[in-house]
Chain A
Amino acid sequence: MSSSTNSPTHHTSTIGAIGAPSRRNTELALLVFAVAIPVFAYANVGLAISDQVPSGLLSYGLGLGLLAGVAHLAVRKFAPYADPLLLPLATLLNGLGLVAIWRLDQSKLLQSLPNFVTAAPRQLLYTALGIALFVVVLIFLKDHRVLQRYTYISMFSALVLLILPLVPGLGANIYGAKIWINIPGLGSLQPGEFAKIVLAVFFAGYLMVKRDALALASRRFMGLYLPRGRDLGPILVVWAVSILILVLETDLGTSLLFFGMFVIMLYVATERTSWIVFGLLMSAVGAVGVASVETHVKSRVQAWLDPMREYTLSRQGQTGHSDQLQQALWAFGSGGTLGSGWGQGHSDLIRFAANSDFVLATFGEELGLAGIMAILLIYGLIVERGVRTALAARDPFGKLLAIGLSGAFALQVFVVAGGVMGLIPLTGMTMPFLAYGGSSVLANWALIGILIRISDTARRPAPAPASSPDAEMTQVVRPS
C-alpha cells in the first residue's frame, strides 16, 4: 500500500482517530429519541385504529427501552469509542418496523389469510435475540482483525449456509423462492442473510492478502488490467458458486447483492476502476441471461414493466401473477405527500408479505413522501456511518470488511425499496430492521455489531503517544 493512501488519520476530517471523544452520551441522548418516536407511533396507531391507547404500550415502550439500554451499556463497556449514530439509527428503524408490523397485525384482511400469525410479538422476540447477538459480538469480538483468521472457514460456512436450503427435507420452498430452511421448533430461517456477513469476512480476508497481487501482477488487455488466474481464481470460484446456488434457489436479490458486494470490495482492494467496468458488464450479461432463461425472473421483469397488466391477470385468477406491485404503487400514491397517518391507510390490500417484503408500502401510505424520505435518509445515514468507519479504519481488513458490509447494506436497501416502488424488478428481499423476519433482524444486528466494533477500533485513541503515524504498516498481521 502506498503511504499516500495510508494516512486516513491525518488527512481526513471525517472521524478523527486520535483523541476522539467517546460520544457515548450523544448516543444515549439519541437513543432516547430512537425509543420515544416508536412509542409515540405505537400510541398513534392504537388511537387511530380503536380510539384507545394500546394496552401493550407500557410493556412495548419498556421492552424497546430496555433492549436499547442493554445495547447502549454493552457499547459503553465494550466499544467505548464506537460511532454514536449506528445504534440509535438501527434502534429507531427496528422500533418503527415493530410498530408497522403490529399495525398490520390489526388488519382483519390479513388476519383472514391462511398463514396469518400475529407477527409483532415474534418480531419483538427476534429483536431481543438480535440485540443479544449484537451484545455477544461486542463481547466476544474484541478486535475485528481476529476475523481474518477465519477467512477460509468463512468461505466454507458461506457455501454451507447457501447450500442448506437446497438440502432435501431441510429446505422449504415458499412462494417460488427456495431460500428458507426449516428448523424444528424455531420456524424457518433464511441462511442467505447470514451468508452475506460471512461472505464479506471471506472476501475481506482474502482480498487483503491478495490485493497487491491482484492490482499489480496483471496483464493489460484492451485497456483493462486482468489479474492472474491463481490470484483471482479462488475468489471468482466462490463467488460464482454462490451466485449459482442463488440462481438455483431463485433468490435474485441476494445474488445481485453478493455480486455487488464482491465488485465493491474488489474495487476498493485493488483500486482499479477496471473492476467496476467488469462488474457492470458481467452483471448486465448475467441479468439479461438469467432474465431471458429463468421463468421466475422473466415474470418478475414483466410484472415490473406493466404492473397494471399483472394486476388484471391476477384478478382474472390466472396463476403465477400477483397484484402486489400494483397494490404497493397505489399505496404509495394514496399516501401522497404527508400520508394518511398511522393506522389509517389500507396497505393491507397488498395481503401476503405486506409486513415483510412490502413493509415499505405501509410507511409510504401512512407516513407519505415525508416519512419515506426520512426513512431513506436514515438508511443513508447508516451507510454513511459505515463508509466513514471504513475510511477511518486503520487496517485494510477493517476497511474492506466495513465497506463490504455497508455497501451490501446500501445495495439491499436500494434493491428492496427500488423493487417495491417499481423502480427495478422485484427481487424479494426485506428492508433491514423494518421488515418482519427473524433471520433478517438477527443478521442485521450482527452487521451493526461488527461495524460498531470496527468503528471502535478505528476511533480508539492511539495506545501510545509515540506510535508511528504509519501505524498500519507496523501492525502484525498474519496473513493466514
Chain B
Amino acid sequence: MNKPLRRIAIFCGLLVLTLLLRDNYLQYVRADSLKDDPKNRRVTIARYANPRGDIIVGGDPITGSTETSKSGLNDLKYKRTYKNGPMWAPVTGYASQAFGATQLEALEDGILTGNDDRLFFRKTLDMITGKEQQGGNVVTTLNAAAQKAAFDGLKKQGGKGAVVALEPSTGKILALASYPSYDPSSFAGNTDDDAAAWKKLQKKYDPNDPMLNRALRETYPPGSTFKVVTAAAALENGKYTSADERTDTPLPWVMPGTRTELKNEGNIPCENATMRVALQFSCNTVFGKIGSDLGNDKMLEEAKKFGFDSEQFTPVRATASVFSDDMNQSQTALSSIGQYNTAATPLQMAMVASAVANDGKLMKPYMVDTLQSSNLDEVAKTEPEELSRPLSPKNAQILQDMMQTVVEKGTGTNARINGVKVGGKTGTAQHGVENSENPYAWFISYAKLSDGSSPVAVAVVIEDESANRDDISGGGLAAPIARNVMEAVVNAKK
C-alpha cells in the first residue's frame, strides 16, 4: 500500500505547490495592478490617510487638509480644504473622499499623497525614522493677483465666462478662471451634506454647469478674435507684406460659390481697407476674403501652428480647438472670421495672443512650475518648451502693430493701460440657430512694457444670456476684465 501512498503524498505536495504558485501570481505578479485599482477602496483610504500636500500659488498654499470626524464608519482620516475654492477650482480641480479627484488634484495625486516614486527616498527615510508619510507640494505658475482680477471681473459681469492669462515668453499660465464656479470644499468629505452639495452642482440640477472648466474644456466660436490668425496666415503666406498695404477687397463682397454677401457690422470703411484698418474696425469682408483666397489648407496649417486641432496638456488636459478641413471657399471665408465650424477654448485664444506678443514664438502653456517633497526639496521642474513658430519675428512685429492700433483707436480702447503698450482684438461671436442666441463677447490682448518684454497675454470670453443683445461686444464686456488682469501682472512687475 505504500506505493499509492507515496503517490498521494506527491499529489498533496502538488496541491500545495499549486497554491504557492497561485499566491505568487496574485501577490507578486498582479500585486501592483490590484493594489492600484481605483475601485480598490484602499486607494481612497491611502489618499486620505495623511494630510495631503498643498497646491501653492505665489508661495501661499491655496489648499489645506483637515481631520475628519472619527465618528461612525469613516475610514478616511483627512479631508481636503480649499482657500477661496470657487476662484481656484479651475486650477486645483477637487479631491473628494466620495467623488474622487480631478485635474491637478488627480494628476499630481502621487506627489500630494507622498506615494510617488520620485519621493521614494523621502518615503523610505520617513519609514525608517518612524514619521508619518507626508505629501509633497505642487507649486503652480499662477499669479494670485491676476487670478483675482480675472475671477472678480467675471463675477461682477455675472453670466458665464472664462479668463486665461499666459506669460508669452515661457507659456506659464498666470490666471485660469471660470464662472460660475464651485467650491470644492463643499463636497470634499463623504457625509450626506457633501453628497447633497455635489448633487446640487451637477448640470442636471444646475443648468449653469458650475463644475465645467470653461477655460480649458469648453470651446466657443472665437468670432473676430480669430482674425488675428487670419492676418497671420496672410502675412506668413506672403499675401500681404505690410499692415498698411491696401487689400483688394470690394464692398459688398459676395462669397465665392454663393450669392450671399458677407456683411460687416455697421457702416465701417472696409472697401480695399489695409489690414490695419480692417483689424481696427473688424472688417468681416477683408478677412473673409483673405481666408477664402488663401484656401482651406493654408488657413488650417496656420491655425494648427497656433495650436488648433490638438489637445493641450497643461498638464490638465484642455480640449482641442477646431478649425475644419475639407471646407469650400465660402465656408473657409466664414471660418476665417471665427464663425461656421471654428471653435476655440479660451486657452487657445490666449495662446494666439501670446504667440504674437512673443515675436511669433508659441510656448507650450503649463501651470505646474515645480513639484516639491514635504521638506520643500525640488523633485521636478517644468522647463518652458517651444510648441511652434506660427509667425516670423518680422511678421509678428507687423501684427503687434496692428493689434496695438485696435486698442489705441479701434474697438478695443477699453483695454488701454497708462504707460503700457497694449495690443488686442475684440470679438463678438454669433451663435445659435440663425444667430438667435446672445453672442459671445471675446477679447484677446497682451501687454508690452517699455523694455519690449511682454509679461502677459490674456483671453476673456463672456457668455451672457441675460444681457441686452445690443450691449454685447467684446470691447464692452470683455476688454475691461482683460485690462484688469494685465494691470495686475504689470503692476507686480514694476
Decide: A380 and B13 in contact? CB cutoff 8 A: yes
- Say yes or no: A369-B4 contact (C-beta < 8 A), given A334-B40, A346-B42, A423-B18: no
> How many Å lie between the Cα of A332 and that of B39 in the bound state?
15
Decide: B4 and A330 in contact? CB cutoff 8 A: no
- Say yes or no: A333-B12 contact (C-beta < 8 A), given A346-B42, A391-B6, A418-B22: no
The yes or no answer to B27 lying at the interface (CB within 8 A) is yes
Q: A379 contacts which chain B residues (CB < 8 A)?
A: 16
Decide: A268 and B1 in contact? CB cutoff 8 A: yes
Decide: B2 and A8 in contact? CB cutoff 8 A: yes
Of the residues B5, B16, B20, B24, contact of A399 by C-beta under 8 Å: B5
A1-41: CB near B (< 8 Å → 1, else 0) gives 10001101000100000000000000000000000000000
Give the nearest-CB partner of B12 in chain A: A410
Decide: A384 and B20 in contact? CB cutoff 8 A: no
- CB B131 to nearest CB in A, in angstroms, measures 15
> How many Å lie between the Cα of A413 and that of B18 in the bound state?
12
Q: A423 contacts which chain B residues (CB < 8 A)?
A: 18-19, 22
The yes or no answer to A306 lying at the interface (CB within 8 A) is no
Q: A5 contacts which chain B residues (CB < 8 A)?
A: 1-3
Binds A, one of B29-37, B317-325, B361-369, B456-464: B29-37
Give the nearest-CB partner of A340 in chain B: B42
Of the residues B27, B34, B73, contact of A112 by C-beta under 8 Å: B73
Decide: A369 and B27 in contact? CB cutoff 8 A: yes
> How many Å lie between the Cα of A308 and that of B9 in the bound state?
36
> How many Å lie between the Cα of A335 and that of B35 in the bound state?
8
- CB B39 to nearest CB in A, in angstroms, measures 7
- Say yes or no: A268-B5 contact (C-beta < 8 A), given A333-B35, A421-B23: yes
A396-425: CB near B (< 8 Å → 1, else 0) gives 100110010011001101100110011100
The yes or no answer to A79 lying at the interface (CB within 8 A) is no
Of the residues B2, B7, B13, B42, contact of A334 by C-beta under 8 Å: B42
> How many Å lie between the Cα of A269 and that of B8 in the bound state?
12
- Say yes or no: A414-B18 contact (C-beta < 8 A), given A333-B27, A346-B45: yes
Question: B63-104: which have CB < 8 Å to A?
Answer: 73, 75
Q: A438 contacts which chain B residues (CB < 8 A)?
A: none
Of the residues A368, A387, A396, A421, contact of B8 by C-beta under 8 Å: A387
Q: A406 contacts which chain B residues (CB < 8 A)?
A: 12
Question: B189-222: which have CB < 8 Å to A?
Answer: none
> How many Å lie between the Cα of A423 and that of B20 in the bound state?
11
Q: B11 contacts which chain A residues (CB < 8 A)?
A: 264
Of the residues A6, A336, A384, A403, contact of B27 by C-beta under 8 Å: A336
- CB B110 to nearest CB in A, in angstroms, measures 17
The yes or no answer to A129 lying at the interface (CB within 8 A) is no
Give the nearest-CB partner of B71 in chain A: A108
- Say yes or no: A418-B27 contact (C-beta < 8 A), given A5-B1, A109-B73, A334-B34: no
Decide: B26 and A422 in contact? CB cutoff 8 A: yes
> How many Å lie between the Cα of A332 and that of B24 in the bound state?
10
- Say yes or no: A337-B41 contact (C-beta < 8 A), given A390-B5, A410-B15, A423-B22: no
Decide: B1 and A399 in contact? CB cutoff 8 A: yes
Decide: B31 and A336 in contact? CB cutoff 8 A: yes
- CB A300 to nearest CB in B, in angstroms, measures 18
The yes or no answer to B121 lying at the interface (CB within 8 A) is no
Decide: A333 and B8 in contact? CB cutoff 8 A: no
> How many Å lie between the Cα of A372 and that of B20 in the bound state?
8
> How many Å lie between the Cα of A264 and that of B6 in the bound state?
12
Decide: A337 and B22 in contact? CB cutoff 8 A: no
Q: B2 contacts which chain A residues (CB < 8 A)?
A: 5, 8, 12, 391
> How many Å lie between the Cα of A399 and that of B3 in the bound state?
12
Q: B34 contacts which chain A residues (CB < 8 A)?
A: 329-330, 332-334
A322-344: CB near B (< 8 Å → 1, else 0) gives 00000001101111110000000
Question: B247-301: which have CB < 8 Å to A?
Answer: none
Decide: B26 and A332 in contact? CB cutoff 8 A: yes
Decide: A403 and B19 in contact? CB cutoff 8 A: no
Q: B23 contacts which chain A residues (CB < 8 A)?
A: 332, 364, 369, 372-373, 376, 421
Decide: A109 and B75 in contact? CB cutoff 8 A: yes
B156-200: CB near A (< 8 Å → 1, else 0) gives 000000000000000000000000000000000000000000000
> How many Å lie between the Cα of A201 and that of B22 in the bound state?
33
Decide: B22 and A421 in contact? CB cutoff 8 A: yes
Q: B41 contacts which chain A residues (CB < 8 A)?
A: 330, 346, 349
The yes or no answer to A120 lying at the interface (CB within 8 A) is no
Question: A259-279: which have CB < 8 Å to B?
Answer: 264, 267-269, 271
Decide: B12 and A384 in contact? CB cutoff 8 A: yes
Give the nearest-CB partner of A369 in chain B: B27
- CB A45 to nearest CB in B, in angstroms, measures 17
Give the nearest-CB partner of B6 in chain A: A391
- Say yes or no: A403-B75 contact (C-beta < 8 A), given A5-B1, A8-B2, A376-B19: no
Q: A377 contacts which chain B residues (CB < 8 A)?
A: 16, 20
Q: A108 contacts which chain B residues (CB < 8 A)?
A: 73, 75
> How many Å lie between the Cα of A369 and that of B28 in the bound state?
7
> How many Å lie between the Cα of A31 and that of B66 in the bound state?
49
The yes or no answer to A78 lying at the interface (CB within 8 A) is no
> How many Å lie between the Cα of A379 and that of B34 in the bound state?
26
- Say yes or no: A1-B1 contact (C-beta < 8 A), given A330-B42, A336-B31, A383-B12: yes
> How many Å lie between the Cα of A379 and that of B20 in the bound state?
12
> How many Å lie between the Cα of A346 and that of B15 in the bound state?
28
The yes or no answer to A150 lying at the interface (CB within 8 A) is no
Q: A352 contacts which chain B residues (CB < 8 A)?
A: none
Decide: B4 and A268 in contact? CB cutoff 8 A: yes
Decide: A336 and B35 in contact? CB cutoff 8 A: yes
- CB A211 to nearest CB in B, in angstroms, measures 9
Decide: B15 and A411 in contact? CB cutoff 8 A: yes
Of the residues B13, B26, B73, contact of A421 by C-beta under 8 Å: B26
The yes or no answer to A311 lying at the interface (CB within 8 A) is yes
Identify 17 new A-B residue pairs, CB closer than 8 A, beyond the known A330-B34, A364-B23. Answer: A108-B73, A271-B1, A332-B34, A333-B27, A336-B27, A336-B28, A337-B27, A346-B41, A387-B5, A390-B5, A396-B1, A406-B12, A414-B15, A418-B22, A421-B22, A421-B23, A423-B22
For the complex of A and B, 3 pairs with smallest distance between CB atoms:
A333-B34, A369-B27, A380-B16
Interfacial residues, chain A to chain B (CB-CB below 8 A): 1, 5-6, 8, 12, 108-109, 112, 264, 267-269, 271, 308, 311, 329-330, 332-337, 346, 349, 364, 368-369, 372-373, 376-377, 379-380, 383-384, 387, 390-391, 396, 399-400, 403, 406-407, 410-411, 413-414, 417-418, 421-423
Would you mind naming 19 contact pairs between A and B with Cβ atoms under 8 Å apart?
A5-B1, A108-B75, A264-B11, A267-B8, A271-B1, A332-B31, A333-B30, A333-B31, A333-B37, A349-B41, A364-B27, A369-B24, A377-B16, A380-B16, A391-B9, A399-B1, A410-B12, A421-B19, A421-B23
